[in-house]
Chain A
Amino acid sequence: MMVSKEATMSDASKPAKRPMSPRRKRYWTALGLAGAFGGVLGAWMQMTQTDGATIGLALLSNSALPANFAIGSSIVWVVGMAISLILYHRSVDDHEERAYLWAGTAAWYTLTLAAPTWWVLHRASLAPAPDVMLLFLGALAVNAIVWLWLKYR
């Protein structure tokens, strides 16, 4: 029996749910890519940890890393984040863009307040040496909290 291509396409084009718009597809692709890059980097970093003292907290460790991992992860981070962020900014609606801008501002203020303060206290021997990753993770946490609050409150 001959079934025309058009008839087949017509039957197949009756989805139970409304199809995703191109914007939503780009949005979830961007988030998926960012998550995948982050997951790969996290797992790879954890596998290179040899001291065993920081299992699960590899990001906070200051132990030496193999050069091939350092180069490879730097490339994956920069290229992966650049691609994901371009896709993300091309797909967000203006409500989320506003949440993102305020979250970024709050994260920047966190860094602006914490980094010089910690540095000055360290130079007066009142605090340990500033930890870049701790500052980064602190700013990232503030960013995430503000973004989630503005988007889902």
Chain B
Amino acid sequence: MNNKLKVLRAMRNWSQAELADRLDVSRQAVNAIETGKYDPSLPLAFKLARLFDMPIEEIFDDGFEGGDDE
């Protein structure tokens, strides 16, 4: 699943370790999400959405193109 985590993090000038601290996960977890090797659990996805103050679907993209035409 694609995501904008790296961009959102860079916009705030946070290192992976800093973001990991804010989410209370390991730096490896942040790296794995950013590189698409790991899709976070729903609770972690909500935590990310709250941290960046945006909906989950604006951070993550599952590639589904039908339905939402906005």
Interface residues of A (CB under 8 A from B): 18, 21, 23, 93-96, 98, 151-153
Contact = CB atoms under 8 A, between A and B. Distances in A.
Interface stretch (B3-11, B26-34, B59-67): B26-34
B28 A94 contact: no
A21 B41 contact: no
A99 to B, nearest CB: 9
B26 A98 contact: no
Range class of the B interface residue count: 10 to 19
A152 B28 contact: yes
B32 A23 contact: no
B38 interface: yes
Given A23-B24, A96-B26, 19 more contacts: A18-B21, A21-B21, A93-B24, A93-B25, A93-B29, A94-B29, A94-B43, A94-B44, A95-B26, A95-B28, A95-B29, A95-B32, A95-B38, A95-B40, A96-B28, A96-B29, A152-B28, A153-B32, A153-B37
Given A18-B21, A21-B21, A93 B37 contact: no
Nearest to B42: A94
Contacts of A153: 32, 37
Given A93-B29, A94-B44, A95-B29, A21 B24 contact: yes
A95 B39 CA distance: 9
Main secondary structure of the interface of A (DSSP, over half): helix
A18 B32 CA distance: 22
Nearest to B23: A93
Contact of B28 (A18, A23, A151): A151
Contacts of A18: 18, 21
10 interchain residue pairs of minimum CB distance = A95-B29, A93-B25, A94-B41, A93-B29, A21-B24, A23-B24, A95-B38, A95-B32, A151-B28, A93-B26
22 contacts: A21-B24, A93-B26, A93-B29, A93-B44, A94-B25, A94-B29, A94-B40, A94-B43, A94-B44, A95-B25, A95-B26, A95-B29, A95-B32, A95-B33, A95-B38, A95-B40, A96-B26, A96-B28, A96-B29, A98-B38, A151-B28, A153-B37
